[in-house]
């Protein structure tokens, strides 16, 4: 970890890893999709639509995973002052938000045949929607503060506060849900996952996680390069100022 | 850059009020094409207020302004370039985009973007966001507006703030060039300029010739 | 008028470059819609009945929060001073800036509304009337917000003050805006009269609001 703190060494590592990781992602997701679509049996109740689960559940896991990553990166920024921590946090937020969004959309599509509507306010989906709002807040804060150092520290504080709040929010949403009788007993990916569905799910989860890591590394590389360009521009402007004097 | 018209600007018995106080009254001057007016006085005497009155931003408490040589019923404000304390530079736009906007907005068809970029040597910075510029460079950007579109009257309020000696010389030359072409300049400045001012207005004391 | 187009293009480009501001308005709209069921309970029938109201209230609040952007930035860096010396009357300048706000904030909010309607179980058959009503009413929203923005330039607590000033002016837009949607949800009354009134409100705002805003700007510029 310490040796990776050097951005140049990190960039070299990323350049070497990305091709292999891309191939891995394609292969694993390919196998996963094949297993999901052709090998796994359709559910006797939901038919083929149960297979949306193979995208929905891993996406939801990765939404959570992304936020945990941000929380750890936040500790890296605030406590250990690791130079790449805020880059990791900044780039993880949009990726985590996107996976959360995919989880919400696929959850909605999955539920439509069962519920008759595109959305119900059950505990799981509501919690995931609030997670999306937490992500959006982080992204908005990053956007709003120009100076990268301050933005990084502010977003780290917000990330930690959010992470601490997530269990509390989840608890309160579950409690809220029991107050009002839910209209359907449908539980997304509930306790009755048939073993025959587990293998494709597992493979898809690994594939998605690898995809997350791949996208994250690429995004971190882009962010580091972007900061370098900005620094170069500033140097050029200062040099121009000195040249005129 | 040829001025489309040469104007004379006159103030007759102008008074200014701010916050209930009368800053000055009975102020009159006439400037023919090619003449320059220096506005001097201690802080708070009303130099900025006078310039804002000429630019049409602050109403006259008394008196009136008249112009001859321009199209009938052109407001005085539209004949002026007003460079105040603030630079009016958008940080999110590049230097070129900033000046291009002013050229099109103020010039209304008669604009000179290349000249504006060259006037204070901003070409090397043209495609950088204005937010990256130093205070002096932003001031140069503000002054470059003078060249983005041709206007006969230049109202300059402390134009040399943040500028280095070399740029002040350039500014001086720009003012003299403008006067030579028949323009009018009204300048409020603490920094002595080499430009020979035909008139001086010392506010905060009895008015001078 | 190339000056007018240049100003409009510049304002749209600035809003696009500082994309965070529009995103925050959309995010706020989302938040308002999300906390409603958390406060009221997830009863889908109830939500469907109040959805038009919630969607309009959320849109008005989100537009209000972003209204400060219309003049604040130009006022603070001295651009407004120079705009006032341009060939365009100050009322036209104000009107163009309100138009830019509508294009960059109002319309995105309207496009988000049906998606949020899905969350509130609004029947999809009402989406066209919802969007039509909002497209008819949001110009008024932006232009009236411009009046508030011009009055509160550079003031302390200007955001809250702006909301306080403008919300009463929004009441007609809200009432007719909801009426232009609700009948599809709860009854057979025609939505056309409220819709036409919304159009009239917008047209009147587009013409009159810039005059008021210009007067307020002139006062602030002194």
User: pLDDT averaged over consecutive 10-residue blocks of chain C (222 residues)?
Assistant: 89 87 91 92 88 95 91 92 92 96 95 94 89 95 94 83 90 90 65 86 95 91 84
Domain that holds residue B178: 8-202
B108 in a structural domain: yes
C9 to chain B, closest Cα gap in Å: 9
pLDDT band at residue A192 using 50, 70 and 90 as cut-offs: low
DSSP alpha helix (H) spans, A116-194: 123-144, 148-179
Q: Which of B122, B133, B165 to mutate to test the interface with A (most CBs of A within 10 A)?
A: B133
What is the average pLDDT value for chain B, to the nearest integer?
A: 86
pLDDT digits 0-9 by tens, B36-55? 999 988 887 888 999 999 99
Q: Which chains touch A (3 or more CB pairs under 8 A)?
A: B, C
B208 in a structural domain: no
B2 in a structural domain: no
> Could you tell me which chain A residue has the CA closest to the CA of B138?
A241
ipTM of the complex: 0.87
Q: Which of C18, C28, C41, C42 to mutate to test the interface with A (most CBs of A within 10 A)?
A: C42
The answer to whether A83 touches A99, Cβ cutoff 8 Å, is no
User: For position B112, which CATH number holds?
Assistant: 3.40.50.300
Lowest mean pLDDT among A204-208, B74-78, B167-171: B74-78
- Which residue of C7, C77, C85 is in closest CB contact with B82? C85
Question: Domain total for chain B?
Answer: 1
pLDDT digits 0-9 by tens, A207-241? 999 999 999 999 999 999 999 998 898 888 888 87
Joined together, the tokens standing for residue C47 give 């939500």
pTM over 0.80: yes
pLDDT digits 0-9 by tens, A99-154? 999 999 998 888 888 778 888 888 888 999 999 999 999 998 898 888 888 889 89
According to the model, what pLDDT value does residue A145 have? 84
A157 or B112, which is more confident: A157
User: A79: number of CA atoms within 13 Å, CB side?
Assistant: 7
Residues 6+ apart with CB under 8 A from B189: B38, B156, B158, B159, B160
Residues 6+ apart with CB under 8 A from A33: A204
**Helices C192-221 and C158-179, interaxial angle, to 10°?**
160
B209 in a structural domain: no
Per-residue pLDDT at B2 exceeds 70: no
Q: Measured in whole angstroms, how far is the alpha carbon of residue C177 from the centre of its chain?
A: 12
């Amino acid at each position: 970890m310490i040796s990776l703190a050097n951005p140049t060494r990190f960039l070299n590592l990323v350049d070497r890893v990305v091709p292999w990781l891309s191939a891995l992602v394609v292969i694993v997701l390919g196998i996963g999709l094949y297993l999901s679509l052709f090998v796994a049996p359709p559910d006797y109740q939901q038919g083929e639509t149960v297979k949306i689960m193979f995208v929905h559940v891993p996406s939801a896991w990765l939404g959570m995973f992304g936020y945990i990553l941000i929380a750890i990166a936040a500790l890296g920024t605030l406590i250990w002052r690791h130079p790449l921590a805020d880059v990791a946090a900044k780039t993880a937020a949009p990726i985590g938000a996107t996976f959360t969004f995919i989880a919400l959309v696929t959850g909605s599509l999955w539920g439509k045949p069962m519920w008759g509507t595109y959305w119900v306010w059950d505990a799981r989906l509501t919690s995931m929607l609030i997670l999306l709002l937490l992500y959006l807040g982080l992204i908005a804060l990053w956007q709003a503060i120009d100076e990268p150092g301050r933005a990084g520290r502010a977003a780290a504080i917000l990330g930690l506060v959010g992470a601490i709040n997530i269990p509390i929010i989840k608890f309160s949403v579950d409690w809220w849900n029991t107050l009002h009788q839910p209209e359907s007993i449908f539980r997304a990916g509930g306790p009755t996952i048939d073993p025959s569905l587990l293998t494709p799910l597992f493979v898809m989860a690994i594939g998605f996680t690898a995809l997350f890591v791949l996208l994250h590394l690429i995004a971190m590389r882009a962010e580091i390069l972007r900061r370098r360009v900005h620094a170069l521009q500033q140097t050029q402007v200062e040099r121009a100022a000195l040249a005129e004097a | 850059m040829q001025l489309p018209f040469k104007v004379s600007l006159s103030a007759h018995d102008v008074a200014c009020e701010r916050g209930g106080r009368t800053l000055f009254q009975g102020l009159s001057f006439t400037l023919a094409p090619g003449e320059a007016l220096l506005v001097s006085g201690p802080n708070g005497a009303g130099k900025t207020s006078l310039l804002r009155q000429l630019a049409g931003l602050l109403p006259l408490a008394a008196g009136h302004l008249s112009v001859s040589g321009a199209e009938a019923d052109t407001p005085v404000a539209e004949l002026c370039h007003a460079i105040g304390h603030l630079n009016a530079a958008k940080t999110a736009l590049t230097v070129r985009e900033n000046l291009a906007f002013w050229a099109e907005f103020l010039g209304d068809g008669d604009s000179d973007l290349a000249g504006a970029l060259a006037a204070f040597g901003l070409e090397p910075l043209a495609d950088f966001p204005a937010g990256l510029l130093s205070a002096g460079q932003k001031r140069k950007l503000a002054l470059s507006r003078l060249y983005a579109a041709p206007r006969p009257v230049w109202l300059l309020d402390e134009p040399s703030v943040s500028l280095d000696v070399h740029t002040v010389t350039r500014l001086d030359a720009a003012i003299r060039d403008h006067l030579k072409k028949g323009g009018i300049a009204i300048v409020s400045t603490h920094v002595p300029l080499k430009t020979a001012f035909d008139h001086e207005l010392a506010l905060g004391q009895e008015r001078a010739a | 008028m190339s000056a007018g187009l240049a100003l409009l293009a510049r304002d749209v480009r600035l809003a696009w470059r500082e994309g965070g501001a529009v995103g925050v308005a959309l995010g706020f709209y989302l938040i308002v819609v999300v906390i409603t069921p958390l406060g009221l309970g997830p009863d889908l029938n109830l939500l469907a009945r109040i959805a038009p109201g919630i969607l309009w209230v959320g849109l008005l609040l989100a537009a209000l929060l972003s209204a400060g952007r219309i003049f604040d930035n130009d006022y603070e860096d001295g651009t407004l001073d120079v705009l006032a010396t341009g060939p365009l009357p100050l009322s036209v300048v104000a009107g163009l800036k309100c138009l830019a706000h509508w294009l960059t904030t109002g319309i995105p909010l309207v496009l988000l509304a049906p998606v949020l309607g899905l969350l509130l179980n609004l029947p999809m058959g009402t989406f066209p009337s919802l969007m039509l009503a909002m497209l008819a009413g949001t110009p008024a929203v932006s232009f009236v917000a411009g009046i508030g923005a011009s009055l509160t330039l550079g003031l302390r607590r200007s955001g809250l003050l702006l909301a306080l000033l403008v919300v009463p002016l929004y009441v007609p837009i809200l009432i007719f805006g909801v009426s232009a949607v609700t009948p599809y949800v709860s009854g057979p009354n025609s939505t056309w009269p409220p819709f036409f009134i919304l159009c009239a409100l917008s047209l009147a705002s587009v013409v009159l609001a810039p005059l008021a805003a210009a007067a307020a700007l002139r006062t602030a510029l002194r």
